[in-house]
Amino acid sequence: MNGDGRMHILQQGMTWVRGGVERFIMNLYRQIDRDLVQFDFLIPYDMPPMAYEEEARDLGGRVFRSIYPFRRSPWRAETELRRLFAEHPEIGGVHMNVCFPYVYPLAAAARSGVNLRILHSHEGDGLLVDQHQGWRARLIDRQVHRYPTRYFVCSDNAAYLFPDEPYTWVKNGIDTGLFRFDDATRHMVRARLGIPDNAHVIGFCGHLNSRKNPLFALDVFAAYRRMEPGSVFIVTGQGDLEDELRRGIAARGLPDGAVLMLGGGRADMHELYQAMDGFVLPSTLEGLPFVLVEAQCAGLPCVASREAVTGQATVTDLLRFCSLSDDARTWARVLREGVARRVDRASYASRVAAAGFDMRATAAMLQRIYLTEGGRS
């Protein structure tokens, strides 16, 4: 701890997009006891404003733009990080939230005497296969096994980043009270979006890229709408498939208003879940998706890809799996069966919390580790 009695933990993994990793870090930051633990943030020197940057600063966090590309300038990469740790001896731990095998900041932290060095994998096996080869792959492998003092995973299949190392499952906790179903919010959001009360609303949330498979999600909805005319598809997210997805709406014969593309980085996802009746996630690659925890907390029946989504995402009985080799009609039928069950949606927030996915429990566990293992030697 430093002179003000707080342990400073340097968080790395924030980008300019409000994705799952960013939400995890900020959910944790909001719930941790900031009288005992304070977060600072390590980002690339040339990155646009960080997601949630204004809120992070309001909570007392500092943003250090001190990451330089190692492959272009190894001397600058080392110098800037060593300077950061030398100028801020109050930083007693580094928590790297990564979806790829890169741990150089932990190497610099180790050489600077930082005791707690966490490598936290947030993605399933298969991301960026063969990105590194030859000497660079060997260097990264040595760093992965040498410099972290703790290995965290969002699910068991995320441990591929550090084979044979002991790891701790850190559950993707959320604010369960925020996502708890509320009927008044449901009617308010539907009125705002112009959705009739009796329409079936299916949701999708994620980056609009090949990993999240939004074009197949659109196929699933098109099949669902043939079963339930008047259904509406809410799509939240942005990415390189956005234009193709928009073209695909007309190509599948879906009329205006059947698909609402609401963009990404939204601060009202907890409200949008209330307006939905079901949720689909046909990803080709995942760790343990935040959106499935949030959707189940809101009492939504969910259908996800068996190949990509770990069984550990089955927080409640609302989650069902289909294969990516199944056709869209099969997915739609399974989703429709879930919607037809008409469960007591408000009861699922407590079930998600009881399963250990409330961020207050996650924050308490990580706070103990930060306080007992952080510091300088």
> Does 376 have pLDDT greater than 60?
yes
**What pLDDT shows up at residue 175?**
95
- Give the whole-angstrom CA distance, residue 20 versus residue 155: 14
Residue 14 banded pLDDT, cuts 50, 70, 90: very high
Q: Can you give the length of the chain in residues?
A: 377
| Same-domain pairing of 283 and 304 | yes
- Read off the pLDDT of each residue in 222-250 and give the average, rounded to a whole number: 96
The pLDDT of residue 36 is above 80: yes
Q: Which one, of 72, 136, 75, lies nearest residue 100 by Cα?
A: 136
- Domain contains 362: yes
Query: Does residue 178 form part of some domain?
Result: no
% of the chain exceeding 70 in pLDDT: 94
Q: Which single residue is written with the structure tokens 């760790």? A: 287
- Report which of residues 2 and 254 the model is more confident about: 254
232 shares a domain with 112: no
pLDDT tops 70 at residue 113: yes
The answer on 143 and 33 residing in a single domain is yes
Q: Among residues 328, 125, 355, 300, which one has the least CA distance to residue 214?
A: 328
Tell me, yes or no, whether 329 and 363 share the same domain.
Answer: no
Rounded average pLDDT over 22-45: 96
Strands (E), the chain: 7-12, 37-44, 63-67, 91-98, 116-121, 150-153, 168-169, 201-205, 232-236, 259-261, 278-281, 302-305, 319-322
The residue type at 298: A
Instruction: Judge whether 212 and 235 are in contact, CB under 8 Å.
Output: no
Q: Are residues 149 and 207 in the same domain?
A: no
Specify whether the CB–CB gap between 113 and 377 falls below 8 A: yes
Would 315 be classed as within a structural domain?
yes
Is there a single domain that holds both residue 195 and residue 124? no
Report if residue 283 sits inside a domain.
yes
What is the pLDDT averaged over residues 4-16? 93
Average pLDDT for 196-222: 96
The CA distances from residue 361 to 74, 181, 240, 315, in Å, are 39, 21, 36, 15
User: Total domain count for the chain?
Assistant: 2
Q: Are 149 and 116 in contact, with CB atoms under 8 Å apart? A: yes
Q: Are residues 91 and 60 in the same domain?
A: yes
- Tens of pLDDT, residue by residue over 128-166, are 444 445 545 666 677 788 999 999 999 988 888 888 899
Domain-embedded: residue 1: no
Output the six-digit token pair for 212: 């999240």
Based on DSSP, count helices (H) and strands (E) in the chain, helices before strands. 14, 13
Q: How far apart are CA 51 and CA 34, in angstroms?
A: 20
Tens of pLDDT, residue by residue over 161-194, are: 888 899 999 999 999 999 999 999 999 999 999 9
Q: Which residues contact 222 (CB under 8 A, 6 or more apart)?
A: 252, 253, 254, 328
Query: Percent of the chain scored above 90 by pLDDT?
Result: 80
Question: Does residue 238 share a domain with residue 224?
Answer: yes
Same domain, 250 and 139: no
What's CA 63's distance to the chain center, in Å?
A: 20
Same domain assignment for residues 189 and 316: yes
Establish if 187 belongs to a structural domain.
yes
Q: pLDDT at position 128, please?
A: 46
Contact of 345 with 299, CB cutoff 8 Å: yes
Least confident piece of the model among 97-111, 118-132, 203-217: 118-132
Structure tokens at 215: 């074009």
Gap between the Cα atoms of 351 and 297, Å rounded: 8
**31 and 167 inside one domain:** yes
Residue 127 has pLDDT above 90, yes or no: no
pLDDT at 143: 79
Tell me: do 114 and 215 sit in the same domain: no
What would the two tokens of residue 82 be?
A: 């060593």
User: Does 2 fall in a domain?
Assistant: no
Give the domain extent around 305: 183-355
**CA 341 remoteness from chain centre:** 28
**Is residue 286, in this structure, part of any structural domain at all?**
yes
Cα distances from 123 to residues 128, 233, 290, 305, in angstroms, run 10, 26, 11, 15
Task: Name every residue whose Cβ is closer than 8 Å to that of residue 255 and which is 6 or more positions away in sequence.
Answer: none
